[in-house]
Structures are given as structure tokens and as C-alpha cells.
């Protein structure tokens, strides 16, 4: 299963399995220093960021690679929703003649195959990026027990990609999400949209279910605010 398929498969249920994404999206908007008029958002999902935009803007462009997510996302006459992969040449072509006051992205850019390249392209069309990304320390104990590696970017690689093109401020948050039982806990991982395509073989999954010592899931999120271009 590819990452995009996973988001799509659970697109309808996703709203109930994205508590951390909701918190992150809310914080991202709350911490903005201005009320930008022209907004580009990458990895829009079902509208967690959009739903927190409570000021009058002129234009909003939302990008997501999942057709189902693009269909779920709310849309007004000032909005353009485009179904594109933010790592693709088509995306770069689509935005290259635009100018935006800000680029926003919440819980999405950790899937980029070349984050530095995305940021380099964004540098040409905006002076400001505010984003939050899950890091590979998400579900850390699960990776340790199952001897697997996270499919998402590490904290250092995220910082390295941004530092190449912008002077940035970073804040790192660790969230713990508690569950009443293991079944709910493991169910949540699959539907959360941050677990990726790695599926465990039966033996490892059984070991994990038996040995997981916590009644919570671990998430790590990095908030990035660009200050100036390098
Ligand atoms: C975890 S969801 C977050 C959605 C929303 N921003 C939120 O805060 O709830 C990640 C979103 O990024 C999208 N996505 C992942 N990789 C992408 C890519 N390469 N290009 C465009 N969208 C992508 C997925 O389809 C999904 O909608």
C-alpha cells in the first residue's frame, strides 16, 4: 500500500483519527504573526488548517496528492484546490508564476521525497513558510520493539532542508495520546495518516501487541517558522 493510498483508504474515517493533527493545525494558525491575504497550503487533507483560517483573505490555493482528500476539502469562491504531488514537476510548474504571502503546511511535508527541493521552489514564490511536520520519533517505542525504521523524515533532515534556504525558528513538541486498551491504540496507528506503508509480518505484529509497554502513543512534531531567506 502506498502512503497516498493509505490516506485515501481511510479518508472518511480520518476525521476521527487525527487528534494530534488537529492540535498541530490549530497551533500553526494561532502562532501566525500576520493575517496573510494570499495563502498556499501543501497537503490540505480534509481542511484542518483551512477551518482555522478566520480572517478575510484574497486567495487560497490548496494542494494535495489524494483526489479523495481534495474532494473532502471545503471550498469557497476564493479558493483553488489542486490535486498534485508537492514533489512533482507539475506542482513546480503550477506555482512558478504565483506569489503568496505565506506557505502553510501541517502534518504533510514529512512525506516529501526531497524536502530541500520543495523548499527551494517555495523560496521563489513566498518570503514566508510556516509549517509543522511529524518526525521519525513518532511511534518511537513501536519502532524499537519491532526493529523497524520510521518511513518519515528525521528531525535533523527536516532542519537541514529548511536551513539550506531559510533562517528559521524551530519548536519541537512531543505529544502522548492515551488509550483505554491496546486494540484501540493499534487501530489508531493505522488510521492516523502518519504510519506510512510499512506493514509488519504477523509474528512481529504479535510480538509488538504483546510487548508494547505503554498505554499511549508517542508523536513528535516540529514547528518551523521561516525568518528570512538565506
Ligand atoms: C496527515 S495528513 C494532514 C492533512 C491536514 N494538513 C491536517 O493537518 O490534518 C497528510 C496529507 O498530506 C497529503 N500528502 C502526502 N504526501 C503528499 C505529497 N507528496 N503531495 C501532496 N500531498 C501529499 C496526504 O494526501 C494527506 O492529505
CATH of the domain at 104: 3.40.50.150
Number of domains making up the chain: 1
Within a domain: residue 74? yes
Quickly tell me which residue has 509488519 as its cell.
200
- What pLDDT is recorded for position 9? 60
Where is 72: in which H helix or E strand?
helix 67-72
Site to substitute for ligand 1 among 70, 83, 108, most atoms within 8 A of C-beta? 108
Cα–Cα distance for residue pair 142/150, rounded to 1 Å: 10
Q: Which of 15, 23, 64 to mutate to test the pocket of ligand 1 (most atoms within 8 A of CB)?
A: 64
* pLDDT above 60 for 14: no
| Domain contains 207 | no
Is residue 31 in a domain? yes
Residue 145 located in a structural domain = no
Look up the domain containing 87 and give its range.
Answer: 3-138+150-178+218-229
Residue 44 near ligand 1, beta carbon < 6 Å? yes
In short, whether 108's Cβ falls inside 6 Å of ligand 1 is yes
Q: Report yes or no: 61 and 82 within 8 Å, Cβ to Cβ.
A: yes
| Residue 197 reports pLDDT greater than 80 | no
Residue 19 domain-assigned (yes or no): yes
pTM of the predicted structure, to 2 decimals: 0.93
User: With DSSP H G I counted as helix, E B as strand and the rest as coil, what are the percentages for the chain, rounded to 5?
Assistant: 40, 25, 35
**Does residue 184 lie in a domain region?**
no
- Taking the C-alpha atoms of residue 151 and residue 110, their distance in angstroms, rounded to an integer, is 9
Instruction: Report the phi/psi class of residue 65: left, alpha or beta, with left for phi > 0 and alpha for psi in -120 to 50.
Output: alpha
**pLDDT tens-digit profile of 40-54?**
999 999 999 999 999
Is 189 contained in some domain?
Answer: no
Q: What is the pLDDT of residues 130-155, one digit of tens each?
A: 999 999 999 999 999 989 899 999 99
What number does the ligand 1 atom closest to the CA of 112 have?
19
Instruction: Classify residue 143: in a domain, yes or no.
Output: no
For the stretch 200-217, pLDDT in tens is 778 888 888 899 999 999
Amino acid at each position: 500500500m502506498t502512503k497516498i493510498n493509505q490516506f485515501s483508504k481511510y479518508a472518511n474515517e480520518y476525521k476521527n483519527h487525527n487528534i494530534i493533527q488537529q492540535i498541530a493545525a490549530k497551533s500553526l494558525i494561532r502562532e501566525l504573526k500576520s493575517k496573510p491575504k494570499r495563502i498556499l497550503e501543501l497537503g490540505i487533507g480534509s481542511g484542518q488548517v483551512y477551518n482555522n483560517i478566520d480572517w478575510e483573505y484574497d486567495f487560497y490555493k490548496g494542494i494535495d496528492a489524494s483526489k479523495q482528500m481534495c474532494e473532502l476539502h471545503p471550498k469557497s469562491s476564493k479558493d483553488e484546490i489542486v490535486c498534485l504531488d508537492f514533489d512533482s514537476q507539475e506542482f513546480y510548474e503550477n506555482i512558478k508564476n504565483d506569489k503568496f504571502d505565506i506557505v502553510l503546511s501541517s502534518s504533510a511535508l514529512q512525506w516529501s521525497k526531497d524536502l530541500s527541493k520543495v523548499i527551494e521552489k517555495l523560496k521563489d514564490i513566498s518570503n514566508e513558510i510556516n509549517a509543522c511536520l511529524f518526525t521519525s520519533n513518532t511511534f518511537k517505542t513501536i519502532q524499537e520493539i519491532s526493529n523497524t525504521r520510521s518511513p518519515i523524515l528525521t528531525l535533523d533532515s527536516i532542519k537541514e532542508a529548511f536551513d539550506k534556504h531559510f533562517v528559521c525558528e524551530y519548536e519541537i513538541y512531543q505529544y502522548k495520546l492515551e488509550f483505554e486498551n491496546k486494540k484501540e491504540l493499534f487501530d489508531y496507528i493505522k488510521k492516523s495518516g502518519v504510519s506510512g506503508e510499512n506493514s509488519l509480518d504477523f509474528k512481529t505484529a504479535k510480538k509488538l501487541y504483546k510487548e508494547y509497554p505503554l498505554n499511549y502513543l508517542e508523536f513528535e512534531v516540529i514547528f518551523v517558522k521561516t525568518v528570512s531567506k538565506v
